[in-house]
Amino acid sequence: MAKTPLQFRHNGREVAIFVDGGMSLLSALRDEIGDHSPKFGCGQGGCGACTVLIDGEPVLSCITLAETVAGKSIETADGLKTGPELHPLQAAFMDNFAAQCGYCTPGMLMAAKALFDHNPDPSRVEVIEAISGNICRCTGYESIINAVLAAARRTERRA
Amino acid sequence: MPVTVKTFATPTEAAAALSSDRSACYIGGGTLVMRALNEGDVSIATIVRLEDRSLTQIRASGARITIGAGVTLSQILRERELSFLHAPARLIGGPAVRTNATVGGNLFAPAPYGDLAVALLALDATVSVMSGYGARDMALEEFLASRDRSPGALVLSVTCDRPPAPEAFRFRKVARVKPKGVSVLSIAVSLSAVGGRVSGPRIAYGAMAPTAIRAKAAERALEGKTLDESGIAAAVAAAAEGTSPANDAIASAWYRREVVGVHLRRLLLGQDG
Amino acid sequence: MLELRKDIFADERDDNLKEIGKPTQRQDMLGHVTATSVYFNDHKLQGMLHLKVLRSPHSHARIRRIDLSEAERSPGVRRIIRGADVPHNLNTLLSLINFGKDDEPTLAVDKVRYKGEPIVAVVADSQREAFEALAKIRVDYEPLPTVFDVEEALKPGAPVINETYPKNTFTYHDIYDHQKIRFGDVERGFAAADHILEQRYQMSPIEHAPTETNGSIAAPDTNGRYVVYTSTQALFFSLDTCAKILDVPSNKLHFIGGTVGGGFGGKVDTVTEPLSILGAMLTGRPVRYMIGREEEMLYCAPRGAERIFIKDGIARDGRILARQFRCLFDSGAYTRLSSYAAVKCAAHLPGPYTIPNVYAEVYCIFTNRVPATAMRGFGVTAVDFAIECQMDKLADLVGMDPMEFRLVNAYRDGDMKAHRREAKNTALIECVQVAAEKAKWRIRDDFKRMSSLKEAGGQRPTAPPPVREPILVNRSAGQQRTVYDRPAPPPPEPIRPPPPAPPPLAQPAPAPSHGAIRFSSVFGGRRR
Amino acid sequence: MAKLRGRGMSSMNYPIGMNLGGDPSQALVHSNPSGKFTVSLSSIDLGQGMKSVTRQICAETLGVPVEDVYVDTADSDTGPHCMGSFASRGTHRVGNAVMAAAREARGVMMEAAAEELEVNVADLETDGRGNIHVKGAPHRSISTKDVAIAAQFRQGRTISGRGIFLVPLSDVDPETGEMSPATCYAHACLVAEVEVDDETGEVAMVRMDSAYELGRALNPRLVEQQLVGGAWMGISHALYETPEPYYPDPSHGPRDFDEYLMPGPGDICPHDITVLERPAPDGPFGAKGPGEMCANPVMPAIANAIFNAVGVRMDELPITPEKVLRAIKAQGGARPQARR
């Protein structure tokens, strides 16, 4: 198959790979770069498990054509920690028992981070809107919503 | 045969590529095309991309606003000039979908999708389309009617008038799942009132036909009326006239016809729920 | 908010424990929030191939001919697998516990019995190439008449769906087409009843919809075995099923899993493992078979639908005297686990109530739809829906409060159940009492004093006379059966004041009493 | 236009483990030379918390801190047989197997400690903090680490244990259905409040109050996860979900998460839960299993609440706005029942 060279920033690091025609960003990240933190949940843009940030905006990597991210900056759940230190969202997800099977968690975290980076003190309604594209089949969402709200309070305390 | 991605600088080249290759498919945000590829649609062998700044531009001159086909829904939500489109845009997908989903792509979304097209239809929008024969403007209604019969048509932009006042344009999406769900139906209404009486109302529906449609019977019934229970009664009674909704996984045709009048009434009277 | 009522049944527990009862963090939580938990699909193997299956477009058809010639020449194709390539191409999941006959092929051979049934598998270098090859396979079908309704399937002359069970019903005890429950004499119970209520209920099929779809990766191991990374819910169940289908000793297979993206019963059926392992055997390469979301939604086993008929005979004072069931399980085209669910359903009847006369017939019926399988509570979920809707109607019929009506009939320690075992360790009464208190739903004091304990049980409170003429017409929109009646109850004497409306929701939940322990709760941080 | 509220309830029980039994599970527990323990299983964690619950059961039984135990699952080469994660059997069946294995391992550990302290095994107890001491004489103590080192390098003992739990398979009488389906049952009662729009048939959840009896809440946060998430699934089953919207007509099956309807984060409601604990005689520390039953009481409670609100009986799932609207129209309008 014809391969196309592709360069972008992945969690702050410059990467260069070759992609097949029509390859999704999700496949590029998982199969070419080896970042398994974005998950395949549907390939339809319907579940949010593959959510990553492109230049700070949340996208569904399964329906994003890999070639379109040339020169852009991609953040995935794998890059959330700073060194060994958990991101406030990760810590809050733990405290609130906001994961069961854990498969939606990376996408939830990135959807929440997209909100967080623009709006460090969201309302419950804003949190619900932010995760509205992400399916969780285990928790019933309440613990996730509260984790994001708690993370906001946690960051306020730090500031 | 592997998928080939062809990226062009000008609409003319892109349109030519589309009309010359039956297996070619234009990709906007990817919400439709990438999904098809992921699900194994082998009829698509060529993906056509267009990198033209004008596609992602929003140009306002007076009341007229032209929105590039490549403008995304999240771009609309950031744009104060387009505040009248924020309601429909916010009700589509989740934030991540809106980062990819484009105005142009929404015009091709099959029912029950395509809520933005519903809003644009009620705003008497026109569409600038590039085909093998070159670019031309056409009414959105005409475009939607011929959409599935004209493959290879490339939408460049959509143009409409900004509503004179916020209350002059209203949008309501009825979905089972909150806050993000597919339309049971959606309704957009733009109306100007002269001396307290409605004049030249535009009512558009989503999911009440294979594409977004105008509710002409209801529009006629509303002409010259006042916006109160009795004034709108005739329009509400005629709400389902001329519609041909489908049975699908979201709702049945029967249900859509039953409740379209209820939701039209609530929208016209400014009631929530 | 979750609270523990330690005061109830306290004397039956030793609460002097160090680790049990503590809100300890999950062992897997750190992995989840750092996205480092490893699911089957997170294993990256060198030179991995991709497997996709051709699915039937028909719900019921004979396969006349399969033409693979064009597909075999398709670029990137490493191997095409047909039913004939599967060593033991007929299985039933519960054969592992000697229950039922083999009735389902891994790849359909002569006939397809549901839309989406796998017929041919393609192993190729990439998913795209597998999809392209599938599109080049030509199958010549002869469509056959279909049956989608369980009652239609039972009628004489209905098309035979699954030749292993020519009557379209699973065979119980080698002789019966259903599972029986016979306890007491329902006819005598009906004769003694003041009211008879016969109703029909329909449970929908349900898709499990785990966020991770079914899938597996199989690879030749260094020691001549095959390592299999899988999303199964039952590791050895899947391993032994594969050993049988592939006709290999079980120690040739090394299954690795354990961290699964949700299952809810939808990952027991072992639909991907046999093919990914066979693909690895036939190509000598790692093979991944992951079900797509649309495939999972449309063609993978759901919770089965159930149609349930209940006929109750009830006395004016609220005692249920007889209860009769007819339960029709829609198993789809193959047995999978529905045969088991039907027996579990029979065991559950008549619900957690003490009824002297119970009669039940529970059928596992074949139709031309996707085979049904296990899902969270199957065998019980649907019949509990039916029973509890019925209980609400019965309470209405005799003019009783629904909570008090449950308490009148609730089973208690020492009661005899319909499957002829004594009830032990029961707690239904206490649950009703606590829920009523929590919801500020007023019940009479004598009901509050009841207990599940044999000795402390006391008399079953008799119901007060109806507060109004019972509504004997049925309001259901559904196609309901009859409600016919004995002579009307005596005119109401002392009228019990109806319970007050519940307080406004704004009011906070009642403070925990009786030294109840509350845990920081998922509902703790609710902000509006 | 009216939005009418109503309350409904349901109560039920749920059998623990595979019906009729015959579903064994095994566990292996062993110590490393520093007195830290590994539980080896082939059981699956689907998110229900198998790894965490068995970890706590093992630690409690051994008498060591939970940090000293990790659970390894699921590898068919290292984990012994387990029937699988279904039928609410994980906590009860696997928990019992782990308990048996941990008891055997504890026995060896105490013997080794007795030899080191030169006392009678019967006189020893664990403090749950990693030490073993003579009853009534805490100063005569040895750490589990030193015991493990002694056992491994001096005494030549393996501090390990094997466990299996099996409820023998019950027969079923073909004529009467007499059988022994389960050894214990969990219980529940739930009250649901809904709001029904009598012009559109839409049903919105207002709140839920529930009581669940689960034998023993081994970990209240994990129990809460199951009960809250399970109740969400119950709402979903009651009002939204179906792969066949026109059953038994199989057409229009949903293909994705847009068409397959489930309550979104904007559709959920407050849910107050009380947990009761009546220990099961044969449960690990009395535990039963909350995993499956948690969704069940919600469905009928909602159907009954809808009747209370508008006076229509909803006997077919899912209870879509269309079904509610058709029923209301068939009865000539909403008929609110006595407010509860």
CATH number of the domain enclosing A142: 1.10.150.120
For D73-104, write each residue's pLDDT tens digit.
999 999 999 999 999 999 999 999 999 999 99
The distance between the two most distant Cα atoms of chain C, rounded to a whole number of Å, is: 87
**Same domain for A126 and A75:** no
Q: Compute the average pLDDT of residues B233-256.
A: 98
SS3 for C505? Answer: coil
Interchain contact, A44 vs B38, CB within 8 Å: yes
State whether D296 and C293 contact (CB < 8 Å). Answer: no
User: What would the mean pLDDT of D61-72 be, rounded to a whole number?
Assistant: 98
- Express each pLDDT in A68-94 by its tens digit: 999 999 999 999 999 999 999 999 999
Tell which wins on pLDDT, A156 or D6: D6
Please give, rounded to a whole number of angstroms, the shortest distance from the CA of C129 to a CA of chain B. Answer: 8
Interface test with D, best of B31, B250, B260 (most D CBs within 10 A): B250
pLDDT at C495: 38
End position of a domain, from candidates A52, A79, A106: A79
Tell me if chain B has a CB within 8 Å of the CB of A73.
no
Given A51, A79, A107, the domain boundary residue is A79
- Report pLDDT digits (tens) over C428-471: 999 999 999 999 999 999 999 999 998 765 566 665 544 444 44
CB of D224 within 8 A of CB of D272?
no
Q: In this complex, is the C-beta atom of A36 within 8 Å of any C-beta atom belonging to chain C?
A: yes
Q: Which residue of A has its CA nearest to D260?
A: A46
Two structure tokens written together for C2: 């979750």
A124 with A75, same domain: the answer is no
Q: Quick one: tokens of B251?
A: 């709702």
Q: Distance (Å, rounded) from C-alpha C139 to C-alpha C118?
A: 12
CA contacts within 13 A on the Cβ side of C166: 1
Return the higher-pLDDT residue of B148 and B86: B86
The per-residue b/e assignment along D146-172, b for 16 or more CB within 10 angstroms, e otherwise, is bbbbbbbeebebebbbebbbebeebeb
In CATH, the number for domain B53-161 is 3.30.465.10
Please judge whether D256 and A42 are an interchain contact, meaning their C-beta atoms are less than 8 angstroms apart.
yes
pLDDT at C510: 45
- Give tens-digit pLDDT for C57-90: 999 999 999 999 999 999 999 999 999 999 999 9
Structurally, chain A folds into a number of domains equal to: 2
Question: Based on the domain organization, do A12 and A71 belong to the same domain?
Answer: yes
User: What's the rounded mean pLDDT across residues D144-163?
Assistant: 98
Let me know whether A8 and A72 are in one domain.
yes
A54 & A94 share domain: no
At residue C504, the pLDDT reads 41
The confidence score (pLDDT) of residue B266 equals 97
> Are residues A71 and A9 located together in one domain of the fold?
yes
**pLDDT value at position C520?**
43
**Tokens 């391992």 appear where?**
D105
In the chain, the amino acid numbered A6 is: L
Residue A2 has pLDDT above 80, yes or no: no
Token digits of residue D6:
């109503």
Tokens describing residue D188: 């529940």
pLDDT exceeds 70 at position D50: yes
Decide if D265 and A145 are in contact by the 8 Å CB cutoff.
yes
Specify the DSSP class assigned to residue B53. G
List chain A residues with CB under 8 Å of C376: none
CB < 8 Å to A45, chain B: 31, 34-35, 93, 97, 100
Q: Closest-CA residue in chain C for A49?
A: C211
Q: What angle do CA D239, D313, C155 make, to 5 degrees?
A: 90
Residues A63 and A101 in one domain: no
Contact D257 A101 (CB under 8 A): no
pLDDT of residue B152: 73
Segments making up each domain of chain B, as ranges:
4-50, 53-161, 170-269
Please tell me which of the candidates C369, C477, C522 has its beta carbon nearest to residue D228: C522
Give the Cα-Cα-Cα angle D235, D240, D246 (nearest 5 degrees).
Answer: 140
Give the pLDDT confidence score for residue A128 in this predicted structure.
Answer: 98
CATH code given to domain B170-269: 3.30.390.50
Are residues D181 and C344 in contact, defined by beta-carbon separation less than 8 angstroms?
Answer: yes
Ordered alpha helix ranges (H), C256-401: 273-283, 293-299, 338-348, 381-397
Q: How many CB pairs under 8 A join B and D?
A: 69
Cβ-Cβ contacts under 8 Å, A100 against chain D: 47-49, 225, 229
Q: Any bridge partners for residue A58, and if so which?
A: A53
Task: Answer for the pair D19, C343: CB distance below 8 angstroms, yes or no.
Answer: yes
| Per-residue H/E/C for chain A | CCEEEEEEEECCEEEEEEEECCCEHHHHHHHHHCCCCCCCCCCCCCCCCCEEEECCEEEEHHHCEHHHHCCCEEECHHHCCECCECCHHHHHHHHCCCCCCCCCHHHHHHHHHHHHHHCCCCCHHHHHHHCCCCCCCCCCCHHHHHHHHHHHHHHHHHC
Q: Which amino acid is at C461?
A: P
CATH number, domain of A57, equals: 3.10.20.30
How many H-runs (helices) and E-runs (strands) does chain B carry? Answer: 11, 12
Integer Cα distance of B240 and B243 in angstroms: 6
Report pLDDT digits (tens) over B68-93: 999 999 999 999 999 999 999 999 99
- Which residues 197-236 of B have a C-beta within 8 angstroms of A? none
Of C216, C272, C217, whose CA–CA distance to C245 is shortest? C272
Query: Is any Cβ of chain B less than 8 angstroms from the Cβ of A67?
Result: yes
DSSP conformational letter for C336: T
Domain of A17, in residue numbers:
4-79
Of B247, B248, B262, the CB nearest to D199: B262
Asked if B31 has any chain A CB less than 8 Å from its own CB, the reply is yes
**Rounded to 5 degrees, what are φ and ψ at D312?**
-115, 145
What mean pLDDT value characterizes chain A? 95
Radius of gyration (Cα) for chain D, nearest Å?
26
Say whether both A67 and A111 belong to one domain: no
Instruction: Say whether both A9 and A75 belong to one domain.
Output: yes
Cβ of B2 and A2 within 8 Å? yes
Residue of A nearest to B37 (CA): A22
A75 shares its domain with A92: no
Q: What angle is formed at CA B83 by the lines to CA B78 and CA B84, rounded to 5 degrees?
A: 145
Rg (CA), chain A: 16
DSSP3 helix / strand / coil % (chain D, rounded to 5): 30, 25, 45
C-beta atoms surrounding B146 within 10 Å: 13
Name the token pair of C89: 């191409």
* Chain D: closest CA distance from residue C340 (Å): 8
Distances (CA, A) of D75 to A99, C226, D44, D48, D105: 23, 13, 10, 18, 21
What's residue B148's pLDDT?
Answer: 82
Contacts of D244 in chain C (CB under 8 A): 204-205, 305, 369
pLDDT, position C454: 84
> Final residue of a domain: which of A23, A49, A79?
A79
| Distance in angstroms (rounded) separating the CA atoms of residues C463 and C317 | 5
| Partner-chain contact C172 D174, CB within 8 Å | yes
Give CA–CA dist C426/C527, Å, rounded.
Answer: 38
Cβ neighbours of D107 (radius 10 Å) = 13
C294 to chain A, any CB pair closer than 8 A? The answer is yes
Interatomic CA distance for residues C133 and C127, integer angstroms: 10
| Whole-number pLDDT of residue C494 | 40
Q: Report residue C59: phi and psi, to 5°.
A: -85, -25
Strand partners, D4: D196
Query: Which stretches of chain C drop beneath a pLDDT of 50?
Result: 465-482, 484-513, 520-522, 524-528
User: Would the CB atoms of B1 and C75 count as touching at under 8 Å?
Assistant: yes
pTM assigned to the model:
0.95
Question: Which of C209, C233, C392 lies closest to D307 in CB terms?
Answer: C392
